[in-house]
């Protein structure tokens, strides 16, 4: 039986992970966020109401599920508290079923400030970040100096770490950017105040997960962002700063061999927010059509998402590096009614496929497309594969052929019930 299931997006994020996790949650006992932070925006439509989660696992809507924020996540306490306030209002008290690892690195105000200053600077490469201090916090984590949640409960350690941090950051703010400094005493007070509010949620995630594993509970590890934004295997430098591919063991504290099944999620087309190469991007009416029909606006920053055809070349390769066992295809309904649908299946470039994948430098990649006929019978809201138009089935089967893995699930609309299950895992 598959007890430890990893789920990740295979594109540049926003594949519909929130909706899919919410659907799968019916059969789960626990859900774990293991990387990223509140740069994520996962949208659910529950009983007609739209809910967006940034830090909390999307499965938290289900009252029987234990939720975890594990050590690989970078945590903004401001963001956490405002999300908790909203969640408590909609879901009732969640204090007894949310545990946050004491080993998480904290996003401090200086991380957010530096992230935003860099993005605004005319002299630096703009990544198009969410401005949430994600990359700067991971820099401190890897640099072995971040303030972790456990430090909040050791006042002298906290003072020491924040003093050292502000020595460094204030000097950059003043001398590199000519901007105001952050006050040390105010920052210490803020951390101590937030420490009290956070206390009921702090726990030992490794131990809790081991207990759940021992009692054969079903656990979902919920990736944020998407494989193409992975800091190591994505379209560097236009990526986020965490490892979502292979990130579960280090981000949670389980063994790589614990993972029984990996679900990869892909939209039926492609979107991207922020800067960076996007070989199948459409700048014509079709791009506008996908954006409008798919409602492609960032769930975290409200930025319009760039749109294009499905990139089968990247999908195939991301499936391979991520160890995906089965695919979930989302937003197929957005393609309803189109006369022709394209899928990129190769690039023409001076570089070989292997060279492209090695550097993921896609600036010069020219997509080659195969064209498929559209379908007239709507897929929107369908719950049975047999009911789909033959052309829609051919599209699904072409994706299986290109990616090399089965499509086990199809999402035909934003609501929980708009789902086709082809293989029960």
**Continuous H helices in 238-334:** 248, 285-293, 312-322
Q: Which stretch binds ligand GDP (CB under 6 A): 81-89, 140-148, 206-214, 330-338?
A: 330-338
Q: Shortest distance, CB of residue 35 to ligand GDP, whole angstroms?
A: 14
Q: Which does 16 bind (CB under 5 to 8 A by kind): Mg ion, ligand GDP, ligand IMO, none?
A: ligand GDP
Q: Which stretch binds Mg ion (CB under 5 A): 7-15, 22-30, 124-132, 246-254?
A: 7-15
**Residue with Cβ nearer Mg ion (165 or 291):** 291
Q: Shortest distance, CB of residue 160 to ligand GDP, whole angstroms?
A: 37
**Residue with Cβ nearer ligand GDP (152 or 239):** 239
Q: Shortest distance, CB of residue 13 to Mg ion, whole angstroms?
A: 6
Q: Shortest distance, CB of residue 7 to ligand GDP, whole angstroms?
A: 10
Of the residues 38, 42, 54, 111, which is catalytic? 42
In the region spanning residues 191 to 230, those forming contacts with ligand IMO, defined by CB under 6 A, are 224-226, 229
Which residues, in sequence order, are bridge partners of residue 6? Answer: 221, 262
Question: For 192, left (φ over 0), alpha (ψ -120 to 50), or beta?
Answer: alpha
According to CB under 6 A, which one of 16, 57, 72, 135 is a site residue for ligand IMO?
Answer: 135
14 is catalytic: yes
Task: For 199, list phi and psi in degrees, rounded to 5.
Answer: -45, -45
Q: Are 263 and 408 in contact (CB under 8 A)?
A: yes
DSSP state, residue 335: G
Contact between 235 and ligand IMO (CB under 6 A)?
Answer: no
Contact between 151 and Mg ion (CB under 5 A)?
Answer: no
Contact between 101 and ligand IMO (CB under 6 A)?
Answer: no
**Cis upstream peptide for 345 (omega within 30°):** no
Q: Please name the residues in contact with 207: beta carbons below 8 A apart, sequence gap of 6 or more.
A: none
According to CB under 6 A, which one of 10, 16, 230, 343 is a site residue for ligand GDP?
Answer: 16
42 is catalytic: yes
Structural tokens at position 234: 């994505």
Of the residues 14, 22, 140, 151, which is catalytic? 14
**Residue with Cβ nearer Mg ion (299 or 362):** 299
Contact between 308 and ligand GDP (CB under 6 A)?
Answer: no
Spatial distance between the Cα atoms of 172 and 237, rounded to a whole number of angstroms: 22
Task: Give the HSE-up count for residue 209: Cα atoms under 13 Å, Cβ half-sphere.
Answer: 30
**Continuous H helices in 92-217:** 109-120, 134-142, 155-175, 184-198, 205-214
Q: Shortest distance, CB of residue 15 to Mg ion, whole angstroms?
A: 8
Q: Are 81 and 44 in contact (CB under 8 A)?
A: no
Element (H, E) at 308: strand 306-311
Q: Shortest distance, CB of residue 136 to ligand IMO, whole angstroms?
A: 9
Q: Please name the residues in contact with 292: beta carbons below 8 A apart, sequence gap of 6 or more.
A: none
Task: For 326, list phi and psi in degrees, rounded to 5.
Answer: -150, 150
According to CB under 6 A, which one of 4, 7, 9, 278 is a site residue for ligand IMO?
Answer: 9
Contact between 16 and ligand IMO (CB under 6 A)?
Answer: no
Handedness of CA 261, 267, 271, 277 (dihedral sign): positive
Spatial distance between the Cα atoms of 94 and 122, rounded to a whole number of angstroms: 44
Q: State the binding string over 18-47 for Mg ion (x if CB under 5 A, else -).
A: -----------------------x------
Whose tokens are 């005319």? That residue is 122
Binding site for Mg ion (CB under 5 A): 14, 41, 299
Q: Which residues are catalytic?
A: 14, 42
* Residue ranges that bind ligand GDP, judged by CB under 6 A: 9, 13-19, 41-43, 45, 295, 299, 330-331, 333-334, 411-414
């Amino acid at each position: 039986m598959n007890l430890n299931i990893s789920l990740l997006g295979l594109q540049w994020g926003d594949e519909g992970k929130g909706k899919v996790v919410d659907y799968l949650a019916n059969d789960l006992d626990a859900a774990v966020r293991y990387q990223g932070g509140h740069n994520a925006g996962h949208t659910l439509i529950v009983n007609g109401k739209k809910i967006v989660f940034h830090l909390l696992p999307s499965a938290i809507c289900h009252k029987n599920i234990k939720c975890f924020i594990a050590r690989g996540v970078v945590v903004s306490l401001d963001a956490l508290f405002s999300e908790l306030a909203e969640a408590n209002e909609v879901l009732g008290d969640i204090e007894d079923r949310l545990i946050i690892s004491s080993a998480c690195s904290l996003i401090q105000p200086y991380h957010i400030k530096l992230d935003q200053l860099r993005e605004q600077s005319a002299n630096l490469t703009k990544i198009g970040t969410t401005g949430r201090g994600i990359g700067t916090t991971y820099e401190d984590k890897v640099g072995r100096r971040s303030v972790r949640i456990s430090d909040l409960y050791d006042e002298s350690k906290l003072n020491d770490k924040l003093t050292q941090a502000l020595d460094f950051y204030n000097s950059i703010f003043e001398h590199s950017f000519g901007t105001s400094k952050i006050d040390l005493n105010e920052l210490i007070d803020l951390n101590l105040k937030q420490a009290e509010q956070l206390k009921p949620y702090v726990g030992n995630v490794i131990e809790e997960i081991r207990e759940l594993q021992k009692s054969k509970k079903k656990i979902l590890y919920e990736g944020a962002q998407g494989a193409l934004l992975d800091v190591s295997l994505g379209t560097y430098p236009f990526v986020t700063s965490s490892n979502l591919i292979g990130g579960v063991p280090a981000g949670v504290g389980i063994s790589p061999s614990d993972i029984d099944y990996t679900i990869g999620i892909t939209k039926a087309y492609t979107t991207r927010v922020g800067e960076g190469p996007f070989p199948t991007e459409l700048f014509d009416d079709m791009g506008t059509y996908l954006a409008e029909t798919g409602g492609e606006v960032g769930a975290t920053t409200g930025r319009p998402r760039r749109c294009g055809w499905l990139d089968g070349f990247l999908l195939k390769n991301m499936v391979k590096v991520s160890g995906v066992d089965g695919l979930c295809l989302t937003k197929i309904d957005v393609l309803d009614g189109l006369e022709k649908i394209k899928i990129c299946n190769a690039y023409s470039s001076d570089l070989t496929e292997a060279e492209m994948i090695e550097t993921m430098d896609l600036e010069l990649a020219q997509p080659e497309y195969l064209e498929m006929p559209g379908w007239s019978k709507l897929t929107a809201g369908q719950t049975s594969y047999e009911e789909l138009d033959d052309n829609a089935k051919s599209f699904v089967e072409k994706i299986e052929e290109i990616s090399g893995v089965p499509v086990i699930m199809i999402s035909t609309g934003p609501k929980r019930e708009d789902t086709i299950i082809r293989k029960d895992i």
